Amino acid sequence: MNFMYFLAILIGPLMKVLYSFIGNYAVTIIVATIIMKLLLFPLAIHQQKSTAKMSVFQPLINEIQQKYKNDPQKQQEELMKLQQEHGYNPMGGCLPMLLTFLVLFGFLGVVYYPVHYIFGVDNASIKAACEAIGLVTTNTSTMQTALIQAIHNGASIDASIIPAATVAEIANFNTTFFGLDICDIAGFALTPLAIFPAIATVTMFLSYFITQKLSGMEAQMQGSMKIMMLVCNLMFVTFCFNAPIGFSFYYSVSNIWQIGQSFVTYKIYSPEKFKKQYEEELAAKRAEKKKKRSVTVEENGQTVTKEVSLADANKLRLELARKREAELHKDERTTPLNKEQ
């Protein structure tokens, strides 16, 4: 199975516990989605802050890139210096996005392979059970949902392959929602099942545009980045049509949650508020750097006190340290070695 589904190892047992209270697979997916979104909410706030911070530093980054466009090494040095001085990370907003993708693939893994991730049956036993009842398919992604449907239709599985208690659990596994089996795949045919991926598609577009607008990301993303984000979302929409309907449930609820979350974070954690805060911090740091400081130096054998900026003070201290080090090494070089008697 795809390594990208590794979070399904956690999501599957969570859904099994939830199902024991809820008793419906579709509603379980909805509740599990909300729980995962709640867990990721602090990271959404972090991403909002990172986006606001980038909007403040982006002009400085552009200035450095333009100034040193013919000197990549110097450009990189200045960018690193900017990051170190002001404590910002241009990749700070990537972690929430990465985790969102991993959770998405985790749910995709569960709806593709529910017998393995929810009921804990190993893949070899699943394959043996399918062969025993004559369920032959070259598409491993649909094998487990087909096995569930076969058991629902009365297929008998030998206890030596899958324990009888587990088979009984699968037989009682309620996968219907308003009379439709969410283990089915809608495809692109005009059937009642198509309403679920259609809802997922509409909510995806709404979520994409509203989130970009309210989070402040729209102004920060270049054209190529916007296209990449849109292509990723369209890819997930195709999963809704080609995966069991359960994934459409997850994706629709996730999109609706994202829309609501965008309005909440915009109201409570406004990007403009964070941007103003970071602008004030940047202005304070710049003022501190320009603030004059008294530094004592030697000129022409005399001790002189100068009023200099923080940057110049640091340069003078560095020069003085180098001078002292040079004098120390000079003394070591001129000291004669003791001759052996």
Q: What is the pLDDT of residues 204-238, one digit of tens each?
A: 889 888 887 776 555 555 555 667 777 777 788 88
Q: What is the pLDDT of residues 60-112, one digit of tens each?
A: 777 787 877 787 887 788 778 777 766 666 666 677 778 888 888 899 899 99
Count of domains for the chain: 2
297 plus 179 within the same structural domain: no
Share of the chain above pLDDT 70, in %: 70
Q: Is residue 244 part of a domain?
A: yes
Q: Is residue 74 part of a domain?
A: yes
Q: Is residue 183 part of a domain?
A: yes
Q: What is the pLDDT of residues 126-177, one digit of tens each?
A: 999 998 998 877 677 788 999 999 999 988 899 999 999 999 999 999 999 9
Please tell me what DSSP assigns to residue 181: E
Q: Is residue 286 part of a domain?
A: no
190 plus 307 within the same structural domain: no
Task: Report the Cα 222 to chain-centroid distance in Å.
Answer: 19
Q: Is residue 176 part of a domain?
A: yes
Q: Is residue 71 part of a domain?
A: yes
Residue range 33-50: average pLDDT?
Answer: 85
212 plus 64 within the same structural domain: yes
Q: How confident is the model at residue 285 (pLDDT cuts 50, 70, 90)?
A: low
Q: What pLDDT does 150 receive?
A: 92
Q: Is the pLDDT of residue 203 over 90?
A: yes
Domain of 211, in residue numbers: 3-277
169 plus 268 within the same structural domain: yes
Q: What pLDDT does 80 receive?
A: 81
Mean pLDDT, rounded, of the chain: 79
Q: In the beta sheet, which residues pair with residue 177? A: 180
101 plus 140 within the same structural domain: yes
Please tell me what DSSP assigns to residue 340: P
Determine the Cα angle at 22 with ends 18 and 23, to 5°: 110
C-alpha span between 313 and 51 (Å, rounded) = 34
95 plus 153 within the same structural domain: yes
Q: What is the pLDDT of residues 316-332, one digit of tens each?
A: 666 766 776 776 666 55
323 compared with 30, residue with greater pLDDT:
30
Q: Is residue 150 part of a domain?
A: yes
Q: Is residue 86 part of a domain?
A: yes
Last-in-domain residue among 277, 301, 317: 277
Q: What pLDDT does 168 receive?
A: 94
**Burial (CB count within 10 angstroms: exposed 0-12, middle 13-18, buried 19+), residue 138:** exposed
248 plus 318 within the same structural domain: no
Q: How confident is the model at residue 341 (pLDDT cuts 50, 70, 90)?
A: very low
297 plus 270 within the same structural domain: no
Q: What pLDDT does 340 receive?
A: 47
236 plus 325 within the same structural domain: no
Question: The dihedral of CA 31, 32, 37, 39: what is its sign?
Answer: positive
Q: How confident is the model at residue 242 (pLDDT cuts 50, 70, 90)?
A: confident
